[in-house]
Amino acid sequence: MTYYISPRFLDKLAVHITKNFLDLPGVRVPLILGVHGRKGEGKSFQCELVFERMGIEAVHMSAGELESPDAGDPGRLIRLRYREAADLIKVRGKMCVLMINDLDAGAGRFDQGTQYTVNTQLVNGTLMNIADKPTDVQLPGSYDSTPLPRVPIIVTGNDFATLYAPLIRDGRMEKFHWEPDRDDKIGIVGGIFEPDGLSRSQIEQLVDRFPDQAIDFFGAVRSRIYDEQIRSFIHDIGINRVSTRVVNSAEGPPVFKKPDFTLSRLIEFGNLMVQEQQRVQNSRLVEEYNTSRRSVTPEVRDVTQMSSIPPENRKTVVRNELANEPSHPHESDRGNGHSSNTQVNSARISPQVQQQIRDLLAQGYRIGIEHANARRFRSQSWQSGDPIQTTNASEAIAALEASLSEHNGEYVRFIGIDPKAKRRVAETIIQRPNS
């Protein structure tokens, strides 16, 4: 089977890897290439195809190896794998790379609830140190003055904005956003269905029928075509004999005839999968289960009642009181008297931003807050504020108002968060110092 490699993808990886093995006088070459983009678009698989095409050996790491109950183990493992790749270069005399899949899942920080451990700090520090001194990577407790060959590092992820900002600066990491266009999708999907005899026009119709789906959707559609044969196989031999017939059977593995890969069948199964996706998005059972955590008691208005609420929930209560109490002194100071049955008319947040917040919440997204002083703003090291748990637009806007007052004199921005994909969908600065 011949798989499709995007020319843009091949060009980016080939240039970055080759450049790291060349001695360019007076040129500082970033060691790390970060390939980021939407989930399921084949970032890791395209990397593997490029490595195979170029004859490159890859030493792999995954996000799950970037955490450990023992402090320092992930950082040491990164150094060990890097030195392993360097030894392969010296011994085999061929290009090697260190590839870390889903770096943001192991070292990223998505919101206030994401635990930031010592190992996360050490992983960031280790990668930064290797990027700055790629020929001098030592293991803890030992030192070898012999320079190592330079090993390019390829990392993949969905949202690199969740990573430590100094790690992804341009001098250390070169970024490549992978979003396959229509031609790329047709080429990749054509490779998936190559054994099934679909013509190019049929592949184009299939891709155009599901334009918003990622690459892995079409691979899953092909897999679903076999479900009917497998179901018939189970019914024929009896469900109690499936294990002995499939695992270590003297008859050998079962053989299935080629199913019907017509365009109409593929579209039929694709529509079923889209319906399943929509059911997952519409059910949102986690919101029903966690209602008690987010609910606020409107009757709580005095100090004695407030004392019965856990400290971590008191700010939420105060913010909801600001949103629902028309005569609250903070609101009257701003000249924004409003009732709880009307939309918030904030003087500090523009109508355009308010509408953007309503649109995000209506689409099922969540709102977060980040702030930074002038020094942190220059280095893009934003600090996370208290998370906004409410899905009510008026309450969310009131919470943003409270955050603006709390961080007066700092930069403040709100972020839209996709809770399912764990990624950011929007970032808007709503306060600047002295503005």
Adjacent-strand bridge partners of 298: none
18 contacts: CB under 8 Å, gap ≥ 6: none
Range from 122-126, 179-183, 228-232, 334-338 carrying the lowest mean pLDDT: 334-338
Q: Of 141-150, 180-189, 259-268, 361-370, where does the model show the most confidence?
A: 180-189
DSSP letter assigned to residue 388: B
Q: What is the pLDDT of residue 184?
A: 94
- Structural domain includes residue 73: yes
* Residue, of 221 and 145, whose pLDDT is higher: 221
Q: What is the pLDDT of residue 90?
A: 93
Would residue 288 count as lying in a domain? no
At 261 the pLDDT is 86
Average pLDDT (245-273) is: 89
0.75 exceeded by the pTM? Answer: no
pLDDT at res. 274: 92
pLDDT given at position 273: 93
Tokens describing residue 433? 């110092």
Whether residue 428 is predicted with pLDDT greater than 80 in this model: the reply is: yes
> Among residues 282, 305, 332, which one ends one of the domains?
282
CA distance 148 to 368: 44
- Judgement on whether residues 414 and 329 belong to the same structural domain of the protein: yes
Is residue 406 one of the residues assigned to a domain?
A: yes
Percent of the chain with pLDDT over 90: 45
| pLDDT > 70: percent of the chain | 83
Residue 285's pLDDT band (boundaries 50, 70, 90)? low
Please give the structure tokens belonging to residue 102.
């889903």
Report the C-alpha gap between 158 and 422 in whole angstroms: 9
Residue 115: what pLDDT? 65
52 within domain boundaries = yes
Q: 43-57: b or e for each residue (b if 16 or more CB lie within 10 Å)?
A: bbebbebbbeeeebe
Q: Which band of pLDDT confidence, cut at 50, 70 and 90, is reported for residue 333?
A: very low
Residue 293, pLDDT above cutoff 60? no
Both 199 and 223 in a single domain?
yes
| CB-facing half-sphere around the CA of 286: CA atoms within 13 A | 6
Q: Are residues 277 and 298 in the same domain?
A: no
Are residues 170 and 188 both part of a single domain? no
Q: Which residue has the higher pLDDT, 324 or 200?
A: 200
324 has pLDDT over 50: no
- Burial level of 119, CB count in 10 A (0-12/13-18/19+)? buried
Residues 239 and 314 in one domain: no
Asked if residue 371 belongs to a domain, the reply is: yes
Same domain, 133 and 104: yes
Same domain, 236 and 123: no
Identify whether residues 55 and 163 lie together within a single domain.
Answer: yes
CATH at 190: 1.10.8.1070
What separation in angstroms does the CA of 273 have from each of 39, 382, 422?
16, 39, 21
User: Cβ atoms within 10 A of the Cβ of 117, count?
Assistant: 15
CATH number at residue 395: 3.30.190.10
Q: Which of 158, 177, 196 is the last residue of a domain?
A: 177
Mark whether 26 and 167 lie in a shared domain.
yes
pLDDT given at position 178: 94
Q: Is the pLDDT of residue 384 over 80?
A: yes
Residues contacting residue 427 through CB under 8 Å, at least 6 positions apart: 161, 413, 414, 415, 416
**Which of 1-15, 210-224, 243-257, 368-382 shows the lowest mean pLDDT across its residues?**
368-382
- Tell me what pLDDT residue 335 has: 38
In this prediction, residues 192-210 reach a mean pLDDT of 92
Q: Which range among 229-238, 287-296, 385-394 has the greatest average pLDDT?
A: 229-238
**If you write DSSP's letter for every residue of 93-162 in order, what string do you get?**
-S-EEEEEETHHHHH---STTS---HHHHHHHHHHHHHHH-TT----TT----SPPPP--EEEEES-GGG
What's the domain range around 329? 294-431
| CA–centroid distance for 319 within its chain | 30
- Please write the tens of the pLDDT for every residue from 89-131: 999 999 999 999 999 988 888 766 666 788 889 999 999 999 9
Is there a domain that residue 62 lies in?
yes
Number of domains in the chain: 3
Same domain, 31 and 123: yes
CATH number of the domain bearing residue 97: 3.40.50.300
- The per-residue pLDDT for 79 is 94
In a domain, 13, yes or no: yes
Whether residues 166 and 196 fall in one domain:
no
Domain-located, residue 1: no
Averaged pLDDT for residues 188-214: 92
pLDDT over 90 (residue 280): no
On average, the pLDDT of the chain sits at 82
Same domain, 14 and 159: yes
What is the predicted pLDDT for the residue at 316? 43
Chosen domain end from 177, 201, 233: 177
Residue by residue, what is the 3-state secondary structure of 350-362?
Answer: CHHHHHHHHHHHH
In this predicted structure, the answer to whether residue 292 has a pLDDT above a threshold of 70 is: no
pLDDT given at position 113 = 60
